[in-house]
C-alpha cells in the first residue's frame, strides 16, 4: 500500500542529453505542454482495484485524468487507454519499485510509449522517471519527485483546481484516440 494516498508531484522534463526541456510539445508527448509543472496524484487501491487521478495545478493548464486497473495474478492490468492502444500494466521491480509499461511491444508502442519507473525512496517520498518514445524514437525524459500529503484520498486537496467539492476521481476514465488508426 506504498502507493495509496494523495501525492504532490513536481515534474521536470529533460532532453536526452539531460539538459532541461521547458516544453515537450515537439517531443510528441501525449499530454504536452510547458515545464516544470506540479500535479496532485490521488491513488485508491483496495488490494484488487486501483484508481489513480492526476490533476495538474501549477505550470500547465489545469486538467484531470483518471485511470483504473485491476490486480490480476500479481500484475496491475489497466483499463483500455483507447482504441488500438497497447495493454498497459503495472509490475514490481522489486521492493518499493513499480513499473508501468506495455505488456507486449506492438505497433501501438512504436507510435507512442512512455514507461514509468516509480521508486519509493523513503516513507512518503517517491521519484517517478519516464522515457518518452514517439514514432519509435526516444525523445525526452521526465522526472517527478513526489511527497505524500495524506495516506488516503477521500477528499480533494486544497490545491485542487476543481475546487473542494466532489469526488477526487473523474467519472469518465482517461481515453485517447492516439492509436485509433491502428484499431482499423
Each residue's pLDDT tens digit, 57-66: 999 999 999 9
Each residue's pLDDT tens digit, 126-171: 999 999 999 999 999 999 999 999 999 999 999 999 999 999 999 9
Q: Across-strand partners of 78?
A: 69
pTM: 0.95
- pLDDT (0 to 100) of residue 141: 97
Residue environment code for 123-145, b if the CB has 16+ CB neighbours within 10 A, otherwise e:
eeebebebebbbeeeebbbbbbe
- pLDDT (0 to 100) of residue 143: 98
- pLDDT (0 to 100) of residue 182: 81
- pLDDT (0 to 100) of residue 1: 67
- Domains delineated in the chain: 5-172 (2.40.128.20)
Residues 7-35 have a mean pLDDT of 93
- pLDDT (0 to 100) of residue 31: 80
Taking the CA atoms of the chain, what radius of gyration do you get in angstroms? 16
Give the rounded percent of residues in the chain with a pLDDT score beyond 90.
88
- pLDDT (0 to 100) of residue 35: 96
- pLDDT (0 to 100) of residue 49: 97
**Positive or negative torsion for Cα 147, 49, 162, 24:** positive
Of 104, 66, 111, 70, the C-alpha closest to 86 is 104
Each residue's pLDDT tens digit, 100-109: 999 999 999 9
Residues 6-13 have a mean pLDDT of 98
Residues 12-40 have a mean pLDDT of 93
Residues 41-48 have a mean pLDDT of 97
Q: What angle do CA 87, 90, 96 make, to 5 degrees?
A: 170
- pLDDT (0 to 100) of residue 164: 96
- pLDDT (0 to 100) of residue 26: 86
- pLDDT (0 to 100) of residue 30: 76
Helices (H), the chain: 107-111
Amino acid at each position: 500500500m506504498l502507493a495509496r494516498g494523495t501525492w504532490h508531484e513536481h515534474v521536470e522534463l529533460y532532453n536526452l542529453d539531460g539538459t532541461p526541456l521547458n516544453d515537450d510539445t515537439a517531443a510528441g508527448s501525449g499530454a504536452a505542454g510547458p515545464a516544470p509543472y506540479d500535479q496532485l496524484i490521488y491513488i485508491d487501491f483496495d488490494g484488487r482495484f486501483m484508481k489513480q487521478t492526476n490533476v495538474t495545478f501549477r505550470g500547465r493548464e489545469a486538467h484531470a485524468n483518471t485511470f483504473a486497473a485491476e490486480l490480476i495474478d500479481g500484475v496491475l492490468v489497466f483499463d483500455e487507454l483507447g482504441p488500438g492502444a497497447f495493454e498497459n500494466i503495472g509490475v514490481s521491480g522489486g521492493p518499493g519499485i513499480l513499473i508501468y509499461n506495455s505488456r507486449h511491444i506492438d505497433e501501438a508502442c512504436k507510435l507512442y510509449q512512455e514507461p514509468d519507473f516509480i521508486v519509493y525512496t523513503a516513507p512518503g517520498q517517491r521519484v517517478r522517471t519516464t522515457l518518452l518514445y514517439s514514432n519509435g524514437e526516444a525523445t525526452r525524459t521526465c522526472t517527478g519527485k513526489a511527497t505524500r500529503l495524506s495516506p488516503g484520498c477521500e477528499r480533494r486537496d486544497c490545491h485542487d483546481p476543481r475546487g473542494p467539492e466532489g469526488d477526487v476521481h473523474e467519472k469518465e476514465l482517461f481515453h485517447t484516440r492516439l492509436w485509433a488508426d491502428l484499431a482499423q
